[in-house]
Homo-oligomer: A and B are copies of this chain.
């Protein structure tokens, strides 16, 4: 068995190299003397976004899971492994699905590859400590095509609005992970809980590094694929205020549901992020800052209640053991987000959007300037 992991990893990497050789080329629109400066503005704007989203994917998700004392290192290490595979595989699968021939990648493809990867990392939170690295590699290889097909269905066929991808990333990643966790359930898991899942002082501080980077850069996550202009601006502002509101309600309800009013570190580390998930579906709509704050406030409350009351029920009744509580951080808030989205559309605050993204606009202007 000792050679299984190296064998699988090397085979996967070799396959990636061969498939990239067959299908992936450079975008050819960046000749310096041919393009107008305007396009560079979008280029730099996308660089800013991908930098932030990279930090969320590799550092944020990785360190968030370190609150479990025993799995600290494996959460960060395996997170890096999965993410490195995920972004190669995600680039490929999305490109082939959209182009069905050789395609040419830009920064935006790389951002979308980060999104595919984020979905797998969310699912990883439910199975952390239950599966081996080699199983994780296989799960990554299987989950990304399903994710890409679902995203294609939702975005291209159904034309649903989900700018921050609450449904396609967060809900999908959470319920995929929970399904895998359900399959892997063994009764012994529950008994071992108190030994391996306890957090300790320092692991709590490491987890806060993950929490804070996710919190700070979430506006990029929700705005990276928004249309330039009003949509990108609103996606940043709405995410920002939704997250701020969510912190106060998460702290308040954490204190409320705990004995003697103490704050539970797990709530602080996770539920304070629920506002970013929930506002995702309608982040670029004109829901107004106070509307974003209402969504964030509700998400914070729902997430804490989920950790306190739903997770134990899942483990005991449904036999689904959710190691990091991803259902409370990603699943439930995404449901809040989809309700918010329905309300927003009913109220008429969603204008016509989704026509052109930033990278395309650069290209359009390039075309028109020649």
A residues with a Cβ closer than 8 A to B are 1-3, 5-7, 9-10, 12-13, 16-18, 20-21, 24-27, 30-33, 35, 37-38, 40-45, 47-48, 51-52, 54-55, 58-59, 62-63, 66, 72-73, 76-77, 80-81, 84-85, 87-88, 105-107, 110, 133, 201-202, 204-206, 208-209, 211-213, 215-217, 220, 227-230, 232-234, 236-237, 240-241, 243-249, 251-253, 255-256, 260-261, 263, 265, 268, 272, 286, 288-290, 293-294, 297, 361
**Other-chain residue from B44, B105, B232, B293 in contact with A16 (beta carbon distance below 8 A):** B293
Complex CA gap A66/B202 in Å reads: 11
Q: A58-B215, A205-B72 are in contact. Are A253 and B84 (CB under 8 A)?
A: no
| Cβ contacts A to B, 12 pairs, < 8 Å | A2-B261, A12-B248, A25-B288, A30-B233, A33-B229, A44-B45, A45-B47, A59-B216, A63-B209, A85-B247, A202-B202, A205-B206
**Other-chain residue from B21, B77, B249, B251 in contact with A268 (beta carbon distance below 8 A):** B77
Closest residue of B by beta carbon distance from A76: B208
Least distance between A74 CB and chain B CB atoms (Å):
9
Residues A51 and B17 in contact, CB atoms below 8 Å apart: no
Number of copies: 3
Residues of B within 8 A of A106 (CB): 233
Residues B251 and A9 in contact, CB atoms below 8 Å apart: yes
Complex CA gap A232/B47 in Å reads: 11
Residues of B within 8 A of A1 (CB): 261
Residues A252 and B9 in contact, CB atoms below 8 Å apart: yes
Residues A5 and B261 in contact, CB atoms below 8 Å apart: yes
Q: A17-B290, A37-B38, A40-B45 are in contact. Are A216 and B51 (CB under 8 A)?
A: yes
